[in-house]
Amino acid sequence: MSWEPIILTLRLAGLTAAILVVVGVPIAYWLTYSRWRWKFLVEAVVALPLVLPPTVLGFYVLVAVSPRSPLGQMYQTLTGHSLAFTFEGLLFASVLYSLPFAVQPFTSAFGAVDPKLVEASWTLGVSRLKTFLRVTLPLSAAGVVTGVVLSFAHTLGEFGVVLMVGGNIPGVTRTVSIDIYDEVQALNYPAAAQTALVLLLFSFVILSVVYALNRRVWAVWPMR
C-alpha cells in the first residue's frame, strides 16, 4: 500500500474545505438574506452537484479548464502552465463538486439565527458586516463546522470528477479512490483492501466525531 495517494487526498480535501469556507460563507450569507425574486435560480445552481452525475460535472470542468477555454487561457497567462490535469484543476473541480455540502449547512445555520438578534445589533449601532461577524457567525458555529466536515469528507470519497478532470498522475492527481480502482483493475486485491480499510476507518472516525459534537449534521436545505 502506498501512502502517497492518501496524503494527496487529505491535502485535496483539506484545501477544498478551506476554500469552501472562504467562498461558501458569502454565498450562504447572500442566500439567507437576499430578497431577490430569482434567488431560487442561484439555489438550484449551488445544489446541482447533488444530483448531477460526477462525470457530467467533471466533463464540464474539463472543458472549462482546457487551454482553449477562456478560463483555461486566463489561468495559463497568469501562471504560465495549463490547468487541466493538474492538482489545481482538480482542486477547482472539488470545490464545485462539494459546494452544496458547505453552502447548505451554512445557509441553514445562518437562517436559524433569530432575526431579532441581528436587528438588536443594528439598533446598537453595529454595522451589518460586524453584526455578521459578532452575532450571526458565532451563533452558527456548529453549522459552519458541519459544512467544513461534510465537504472535507465528500472530497475524500470523490471518484468520477477526479477521473474526468485529474486523470491518474501519481503524486499530482492520483487520489485514494483512483488508487483503489487501479489496484482492483490490476487484480491486486490485498493492496486495494488495505487502502479501502484506511479510508473507511478514517471516514467513520470523522463522522463519529462530528455526530458526537453536533446532532444536526445532515442539515438539508432550510425550509423557508
Partner 1 sequence: MAHEITADFEKVYDGGPTIRAAFHMPADRPHVTVLFGPSGSGKTTILRCLAGLDRPQAGRISFAGALWFDADEGIMMPPQQRGIGYLFQDYALFPHLTVTQNIGYALASLSAEARATRVNEMITLLKLEGLGERRPSQLAGGQQQRVALARVLAPHPQLLLLDEPLSALDVPTREELRGELRGLLRSQPSPVMCVTHDSLEALTLADEVAVVAGGRIVQVGPPEEVFSRPVDAQVAAIVGVETVVAAKAGERTDGLVALEVGSARLWAIDSAERATNFFVSIRAEDVTVTTGALPSSSARNHLAGRITEVRPAGPVSRVVLECGFTLIALVTRQAAQDLGLRPGALVTATVKASTIHLIPR
- Give the interface with partner 1 as residue ranges (CB under 8 A): 114, 116-117, 119-127, 130, 134-135, 138-139
Min. distance of Cβ 117 from partner 1 in angstroms?
Answer: 5
Q: Based on C-alpha coordinates, what's the Rg of the chain?
A: 19
CB of 157 vs partner 1, minimal distance in Å:
34
Q: What minimum distance in Å lies between the beta carbon of 139 and partner 1?
A: 6
Nearer to partner 1, 127 or 188 (CB): 127
- Number of C-beta neighbours around residue 174 at 10 A: 20
Q: Please, which residue, 39 or 134, has the CB nearer to partner 1?
A: 134
Q: Is the Cβ of residue 36 or residue 204 nearer to partner 1 in the bound state?
A: 36
Alpha helices of 4-51 — where are they, by DSSP H?
Answer: 4-33, 39-51
> C-alpha cell of 215?
446532532
Report the nearest approach of partner 1 to the CB of residue 35 (Å).
Answer: 12
Distance, CA of 102 to CA of 33 (rounded, Å): 17
C-alpha cell at 8: 494527496
φ, ψ of residue 173 in degrees (nearest 5): -135, 5
Between 17 and 118, whose beta carbon lies closer to partner 1?
Answer: 118
